[in-house]
Amino acid sequence: MAEQFNQQQLAIARHASNLIERQIAFLRREILLVRKKHLSSPVQPEHYQEAIQETFQRAQEIGVWRIEIIEPESRKDYVFTLFRTALSRNWMRIGQESS
């Protein structure tokens, strides 16, 4: 009886693992699509809005409710939510003091 239970638990864990791996691969493809569309342009929320909303339409069913883009140079964080415009805030690097 214990062996059957262990086998069932292993099957459930494998299924969950496969589902998570597929969802991560899907999100990775979506990120690459957005990046490819806007590769040469600096981060400007109004330019990303359409691509991000397209991504939301595809990713909504796996639970995506927010997308953040962090601009490496300025450390600005752009937060996109479904049908909302982007918000931004500055993130400090570790050890950096605010001015």
**What is the model's pLDDT at position 58?**
86
Whether residue 92 contacts residue 98, with contact meaning beta carbons closer than 8 Å, is answered with yes
Exposure class string for 14-39: b at 16+ Cβ within 10 A, else e: eeeeeeeeeeeeebeebeeebeeebe
pLDDT band at 5 (very low <50, low <70, confident <90, very high): very high
- Token pair recorded at residue 14: 């494998």
> pLDDT-based confidence at 17, cuts 50/70/90?
very high
The structural domains of the chain, with segments of one domain joined by +, span 2-90
CA distances from 59 to 15, 26, 45 (A): 20, 8, 19
Instruction: Report pLDDT for 98.
Output: 44
Quick one: pLDDT at residue 61?
Answer: 83
Mean pLDDT across 64-89: 74
